[in-house]
Structure 1
Amino acid sequence: MLKKKKILIRIGSLRHGGAEKVLVNFLKNLPEDKYEVDLLINLYTGMYIKEVPSWVNMYHLLKGEMITTNKPHEIPVKIFRVLYQKMFLWFPFLLYRFVLKNKKYDVEIAAIHGMYRELLSSPQKESKKIIWIQNDIFNLKEFTPDVIRQLFKFDRILVISNKLKEEMQKLAQNDREKHAVIKIFNPIDKADTLQKANTAIDDYPFSNDIPTFITIGTVYPQKGYDRLLDVHKKLIDEGLRHQIIIIGDGFDYVNIHAKLDQLSLQDTVKMLGFRSNPYPYLKKADFYVMSSRHEGFPTIIAEALILNKPIVSTDVSGIRDLLQEGKLGIITPNSEDGIYDGMKKFLTDKSLSAQYEKEIAAADLPFVLQKSVAHLQEIIDGL
């Protein structure tokens, strides 16, 4: 009988993010008889915890809800959490001895780019190291050229777009480093998405007689919801009637809501907050709009394609791969004017959405679960 490969996977939490969802999709489709997987979560919290397969051994550093604000009573808890996690970064042998019970691993995986220090500090020098970069790190302040150079210490660097692959390979200093960078599509469970989209909802905020755009994602400045509201106002003032639904929460929620009120858009924009199942809303809307300033691999775009939605998106990392260079949706310059032109095309040319729906229906979508999981297994087995 073949010896199972022992794998340690590390992630911050299992909250509602793209990287977290991708990891759980991957775990749910790994063959249990081939691998022994330990999943170490910094903060044991999040909606995806219940979806982790029972055969995966789960460990955690801390338990509790994520703290996203700075209320006075929360600050001591935040400080304690940061220091506690830092302790294991400074003295990693404590983590491997007391939390992971001296287990030995063949492969260690950072399931998110922010975990690179934790993996590189591992006392297990024999294990192969993989980092899965789920964001456009070239747009993140903390990822300076020096930090990005450190990533080449990993045996494999998984990236989720051609753009990221090209940028990383430019920085490679030899063939080994160049070959370490591998593009992989995030696995999306098509059947699961379609099933969830068919759930009945009774709080859809609009009637269907006016064109409706939807956008889904954590309310952070990178998502560009501020510029989406400005574009919406401009189009409305020009007499182009339409509505927008924003699904998601986050630290910028209050600011975006205040801007919505300030622009007097209460009747045409609805912020629904977080929804654990946003797909029925996506299914009912007419178009998907992505106004992001930067992204890694926008999982929600893949899901919008599965639901055959016409899409308008800024030209962020991953979007050209997903929309096949514009064949499956409108890719606009990454600016307010770009978003404006893209949305206006759908509102003024009624035949355009049917054209894209036809292209999407006929397309071979490369991010289908089975293909991505098989590719990832191939990478792990090849180490």
Structure 2
Amino acid sequence: MTEKKKILIRIGSLRHGGAEKVLINFLKNLPQDKYEVDLLINLYTGMYIQEVPSWVKLHYLIKGEMITTNKPHEIPVKAFRVLYQKMLLMFPSLLYKFILKDKKYDVEIAAIHGMYRELLSSPQKDSKKIIWIQNDIFNLKEYTPDVIRQFFKFDKILVISNKLKEEMQKLAGSEKEKQAVIKIFNPIDKQDTLQKANVEIEDYPFSNDLPTFVTIGTVYPQKGYDRLLDVHKKLMDEGLKHQIIIIGDGYDLENIQAKLNQLGVQETVKMLGFRSNPYPYLKKSDFYVMSSRHEGFPTIIAEALILNKPVVSTDVSGIKDLLQNGKLGLITPNSEDGIYEGMKTFLTNKELSAQYEKEIANTDLPFVLEKSVAHLQEIIDQA
């Protein structure tokens, strides 16, 4: 019997994010007879912790909830966490000795781009290193070309869109570095999405039959909910009646709520906060709208397609791959005008959504679980 490959995977936490969900989907479908997996999270928190398969060994640096505010009593805790993590980054041998118990790994994986320093500081120089870039790092100001060049110290760089692959390869210094960049679809569990969407909900916010757009995601400025509200107001003022559901929480929640009140659209836009199962709301709505300024691989778009929903989205990273260059949904310029034109198109052209639904139903979607997991395994096995 061949010996199991020993893998260390690192991620910040297991909160409700796309990268976290993708990692859990991946772990749940890895054959346990082939791999021995240790998962190290910086902060032991998040809804996905209970979904980690029992055979995966879970390690953590700190236990406790994520702190997203700067309340006076939270500052010392926050400072301690930062210093503790910095110390382990500076003296990684302590981490590998005391937390990981001197275990030797064949492959070490950063499941999110933000963990690149941690992986590159690993004292295990012989292990193969893989980084999984889950966001459009070219749109994040702290990722300068010099920082991104560091990623080429990894043996393999997994990216989730063709756009990211092209941008990374432009920075490559050699053919070998170019070859290290691999485009991979994030694994989406189709059955799980369909099953969760069938759950009965009591609190769907609208009972009329006006066209309803839904959008789901952490309430951060990058999601462009401010633009979405302005577009909604403009369309309503033009007599194009519709309504919007926003599902998610985040540090920008109060600003968006204030803007919603200021525009006086409380009756037609409902912010529901975080929902651990947003799929029934998605299923009951007519369209999915994405107003993001930038994204990595918008997992939620894949799930909207699984539920056969017409999509209108700004042209962010990953979207052309997901919507197959506009065959499966509307891709608009990444601007307020773009969002306006896209939503207006759906509201004025009733046949279009039926056309998209038909296209989606007849398409063999490339991001389904089995294909993506098989591709990932192949990369790990070759490492």
Q: Does 1:371 align with 2:371?
A: yes
Task: Provide, for residues 117-161 of structure 1, a one-character-per-residue CA deviation record: whole Å limited to 9, x for no partner.
Answer: 000000000000000000000000110111000000000000000
What residue identity is the alignment partner of 1:38? D
Partner of 2:306: 306
Q: Hey, what's the Cα distance between the residues in 1 that align with 2:112 and 2:5?
A: 21
CA shift at 1:340, angstroms? 0.1
Partner of 2:71: 71
CA shift at 1:175, angstroms? 1.1
CA shift at 1:228, angstroms? 0.2
Q: Does 1:159 align with 2:156?
A: no
Partner of 1:340: 340
CA shift at 1:208, angstroms? 4.1
Partner of 1:104: 104
TM-score relative to the length of structure 1: 1.00
CA shift at 1:207, angstroms? 1.6
What residue identity is the alignment partner of 1:235? L
Partner of 2:324: 324
Q: Hey, what's the Cα distance between the residues in 1 that align with 2:53 and 2:254?
A: 36
Q: What percent of counterpart residues are identical?
A: 85
Task: For 1:356-367, list aligned pairs within 5 A.
Answer: 356-367=356-367
CA shift at 1:366, angstroms? 0.2
Q: Hey, what's the Cα distance between the residues in 2 that align with 1:80 and 1:265?
A: 43
Partner of 2:128: 128
CA shift at 1:61, angstroms? 0.2
Q: Hey, what's the Cα distance between the residues in 2 that align with 1:69 and 1:351?
A: 46
- After superposing on structure 2, the runs of 4+ consecutive aligned residues of structure 1 that deviate more than 3 Å are none
Task: Provide, for residues 343-382 of structure 1, a one-character-per-residue CA deviation record: whole Å limited to 9, x for no partner.
Answer: 0000001111100000000011000000000000000001
Q: Hey, what's the Cα distance between the residues in 2 that align with 1:328 and 1:277?
A: 24
What residue identity is the alignment partner of 1:79? A
> Is the partner of 1:296 in helix, strand or coil?
coil
Q: Hey, what's the Cα distance between the residues in 2 that align with 1:208 and 1:88?
A: 55
> Is the partner of 1:118 in helix, strand or coil?
helix
For the aligned residue pairs, the C-alpha RMSD in angstroms reads: 0.4
Partner of 2:10: 10
What residue identity is the alignment partner of 1:159? V
> Is the partner of 2:33 in helix, strand or coil?
coil
Q: Does 1:209 align with 2:212?
A: no
Task: Provide, for residues 305-333 of structure 1, a one-character-per-residue CA deviation record: whole Å limited to 9, x for no partner.
Answer: 00000000000000000000000000000
What residue identity is the alignment partner of 1:126? D
Q: Hey, what's the Cα distance between the residues in 2 that align with 1:250 and 1:300?
A: 17
Q: Hey, what's the Cα distance between the residues in 1 that align with 2:328 and 2:106?
A: 40
Q: Hey, what's the Cα distance between the residues in 2 that align with 1:76 and 1:366?
A: 46
> Is the partner of 1:61 in helix, strand or coil?
strand
CA shift at 1:169, angstroms? 0.5
Q: Hey, what's the Cα distance between the residues in 2 that align with 1:371 and 1:82?
A: 38
Partner of 2:277: 277
What residue identity is the alignment partner of 2:328? L
List gaps (5 residues or longer) in structure 2. Answer: none
Q: Does 1:351 align with 2:351?
A: yes
> Is the partner of 2:158 in helix, strand or coil?
strand
**Are residues 208 and 370 of structure 1, via their aligned partners in 2, closer, same or farther at CA, if it must alter by over 3 Å?**
farther
Task: For 1:188-227, list aligned pairs within 5 A.
Answer: 188-227=188-227
Q: Hey, what's the Cα distance between the residues in 1 that align with 2:57 and 2:5?
A: 14
What residue identity is the alignment partner of 1:258? A
Task: For 1:215-254, list aligned pairs within 5 A.
Answer: 215-254=215-254
What residue identity is the alignment partner of 1:109? I
> Is the partner of 1:313 in helix, strand or coil?
strand
Q: Does 1:24 align with 2:8?
A: no
Task: Provide, for residues 230-252 of structure 1, a one-character-per-residue CA deviation record: whole Å limited to 9, x for no partner.
Answer: 00000000000000000000000
List gaps (5 residues or longer) in structure 1. Answer: none
Q: Hey, what's the Cα distance between the residues in 2 that align with 1:163 and 1:39?
A: 29
TM-score relative to the length of structure 2: 1.00
Q: Hey, what's the Cα distance between the residues in 1 that align with 2:172 and 2:364?
A: 32
What residue identity is the alignment partner of 1:320? K
Aligned length: 383
Partner of 1:262: 262
Q: Hey, what's the Cα distance between the residues in 2 that align with 1:40 and 1:199?
A: 33
> Is the partner of 1:272 in helix, strand or coil?
strand
Partner of 1:43: 43
Q: Hey, what's the Cα distance between the residues in 2 that align with 1:223 and 1:170?
A: 27
> Is the partner of 2:313 in helix, strand or coil?
strand
> Is the partner of 1:86 in helix, strand or coil?
helix
